[in-house]
Structure 1
């Protein structure tokens, strides 16, 4: 067995959160090793839309210019189409993202997930971090002096860092081995996604969201000819996008009667897998134990219907970095502010996403009437609207708006 007493920090997971944290810690002179099981980052059909508040986090981390220089794509407009509003009215109510600039927010930023991972991996190594890929048989002993064992190139290795960061995603091995309990909401619906090329004719600055018939649709351009498409659908239709021809059926679903020019999306060329997954939220009450801290999806993820995953990860990275640099005594108590902020942040995002799921991914005549009624009530400020949270973050709206009663109000309509 090879034993190494350095580095100070071991990060498990070379995705967005892990490699971003490795970069900013290494820039500050901290010795960091990243352990990653995969040899190549692949398309997981999520994590490609960065909300304006998440873009602000990349600026605070000094990563924004790196993303932009590598081709990250800003959006300019949002239109909420659907069967509860006619297209002309929807377009008249267009949201221009430059409206957020007075509040200090840049527009949403889109980038293919594997590309962002590779970019941040390279940035981490350039900053001095070590990246070891193809790791197997990982074992993390969570204690005040943590120990990490793993196998690489058929050799068993042991590291004894001062702290281990679990950034290894939804099915986190670090979380399980550290004994950190994860809570999970019931699955409300399923979500499928696919990257599509040759979308010539679709405006490169326009994202859309809406509900038609038995789907909730989302589209986020990454360039003038590439768009990430998503469809949320009922668990009752769980086989809808299963089978060998699922890509063709997915694209055909984007021939939308309520969305002008949607044929430019439906006529695109698949450029990645068409995968489905559940929408459920997960969270941890306290994302740390002695010697271990969790970030990103490992610490809990939000229902992707509002696309907050990347923003959550970059916020986690920024707070954990600041706490680690503020005081090099990395005892569990030092991470209490992170746990407290994250707990309330995720609660607010969970509530926001739940309102979107009830409003947008429940179908039939009753659900349509509810969408129409809520839209009308919101125009007259008679019903709470948490939609801005998806753009400017969970701390901007007044705390009293995040009342669980809003879900009961929606379900009763």
Structure 2
């Protein structure tokens, strides 16, 4: 591993990764296996719960297999889900249960069921895998400054000293507020915020089926639940912008749990009676994207390259596909000119467009509230039952490239908003 030098000297690893989360550590690990010298710079000294994605869709699980990381995640406690039920105030509870989706059925398409793992733990697992593969991980860094170009440079502070690295390429994996993206002058686009989303990890949910995930809308909330074990569930609630203080204050955890006493979900008391195992945080649902997530000497992955509305839970799957595509391109083109990432940009642009449309559809349907919104949900169920309205919801499980391109039209949004 490379030795850190002060500003009077430079070292030249092949790759510097900015951000030691899921994407940065995964890409570093799989590239280090190919013999590249890699340094990860991470600002935190430990990974903590900021309410991040913890559900990997079947198409994302496939990406972990392609990367050779699936067995690592399973060995570390990765938890598969087997059933999905869409409850809600627009469908009878018994009817909803009768329409349970068998998540193991995706195995017929070569896809494993969704996989859940606590986000900080996943980061730790991938950090360890990267280090085992020969990666140097430096934590507690500050004042990172990336100078892009054909010979990029990275400067930062660590333990009170300034350091400089001159790699062949810099990977920006530093999240939604990416420093690398800004310093490389890569333009980001963003949708307006449609609603807010709160999440919390809950323990002592004994009695709730460990293989069952749920989704639905009741009253003024859209709710989601994803078990991580027989006694631990990650819960989410989407709610309106006008209700922005709903989960603000010292008792926000208690109010969040109380919202899960749902008349539309049998057994919801097991969720509402659980014990908070992490903070209750809220954040906006807006999508963001970059048309070209690269510049000379720099390429972005994960949220740094643009993120999807979390209502459909695609963040980790997006990241793992980014990692796989960028890895493949870097192995096929060892000179790493910026032009080699054009196929990545093109694939990601269309991928994110389709996921953006899918998320907008679900947001309009499930994260708008009141009588008109309820009537819309009832009407949409009727139309879909008659095959009179496209349903692109399967995208969230199978992946955005599976369904025909013509199904991803803005016309569907116009139809929904007019109801």
Of residues 285, 291, 294, the one that matches 1:288 is 294
Unaligned runs of 5+ in 1: none
Q: Does 1:44 align with 2:19?
A: no
SS at match of 1:249: helix
Provide the residue aligned with 1:182 in structure 2.
Answer: 188
- Find the partner of 1:250 among 241, 247, 256: 256
Give the drift of 1:352. Answer: 0.2
Residue-by-residue CA offset, 1:137-186 (whole Å, 9 max, x unaligned): 11100111000000111111100000000000000000011111111100
Q: Work out whether 1:396 is the aligned partner of 2:390.
A: no
* Count of aligned residue pairs for this structure pair: 413
Residue of structure 1 in register with 2:112 after alignment: 106
> Shift of residue 266 of structure 1?
0.1
- Establish whether residue 33 from structure 1 lines up as the match of residue 39 from structure 2: yes
1:71 corresponds to:
77
Residue 263 of structure 1 is matched in structure 2 by 269
Give, in whole Å, the separation in 2 of the partners of 1:260 and 1:376. Answer: 24
The residue correspondences of 1:221-240 to structure 2 (distance < 5 A) are 221-240=227-246
Aligned match for 1:368, one of 346, 366, 374:
374
- What is the aligned counterpart of 2:178 among 163, 172, 177? 172
Residue 215 of structure 2 corresponds to residue 209 of structure 1: yes
Spell out, residue by residue over 1:180-221, the C-alpha distance to the aligned partner (whole angstroms, 9 max, x if none): 111110000000000000000000000000000000000000
Shift of 1:376: 1.2
1:213-235 Cα distance to aligned partner (Å, 9 max, x none): 00000000000000000000000
Alignment pair present for 1:120 and 2:126: yes
Q: TM-score, normalised by structure 1?
A: 0.99
Matched, 1:138 2:147: no
Describe the SS at the equivalent of 2:363: helix
Counterparts in 2 of 1:296-335, with a 5 A limit?
A: 296-335=302-341
SS in 1 for 2:228: strand
What residue in structure 2 maps to residue 411 of structure 1?
417
**SS in structure 2 opposite 1:358?**
helix
**Hey, what's the Cα distance between the residues in 2 that align with 1:98 and 1:107?**
5
Q: In the TM superposition, what whole-angstrom CA distance separates every residue of 1:230-285 from its partner, at most 9, and x where no partner exists? A: 00000010000000000000000000000000000000000000000000000011
The residue number in structure 2 matching 1:272 is 278
Post-superposition offset of 1:329: 1.2
Aligned partner of 1:153 in structure 2 is: 159
Match of 2:102 in 1: 96
CA distance in 2, matches of 1:44, 1:19: 18
